[in-house]
Amino acid sequence: MAPVGAYNEFLGGLSLLLGLFTPLGALAIIGNMAVAIWKVHGKNGFFAQKQGWELPGIIIAATAALALGGPGNLSLDKAFLGGKKKNKYF
């Protein structure tokens, strides 16, 4: 399963970097970090100093914010797919 996780991280990160298929890239990253918390970091508590789930949790929150906020005006989603703004603030 390590190659699947590596592809999720690479392709999900590339998707978020380019702003292409942003919700799918965010889902890949969130799923990967959720598995990391479940399998490795969850038993160690919260704090990162003890290899806890603090950093994967922050990555999940930041990725969810990108997915919910949308890719932005300089993204490939906007250029190729004609993404529309969800509301007047984003």
How do the domains of the chain map onto residue ranges?
A: 2-81
- Amino acid identity, residue 33? M
Q: What is the pLDDT of residue 90?
A: 47
Q: What is the pLDDT of residue 85?
A: 57
* Number of neighbours of residue 27 by Cβ within 10 angstroms: 17
For the chain, 90 residues long, give each residue's pLDDT as a single digit of tens: 889 989 999 999 999 999 889 999 999 999 999 999 999 998 998 898 888 999 999 999 999 999 898 888 888 888 887 755 554 544
pTM of the predicted structure, to 2 decimals: 0.81
Q: What is the pLDDT of residue 71?
A: 83
Cα–Cα distances in angstroms (integers) from residue 54 to residues 3, 28, 64, 66, in the given order: 24, 19, 15, 19
Q: What is the pLDDT of residue 1?
A: 82
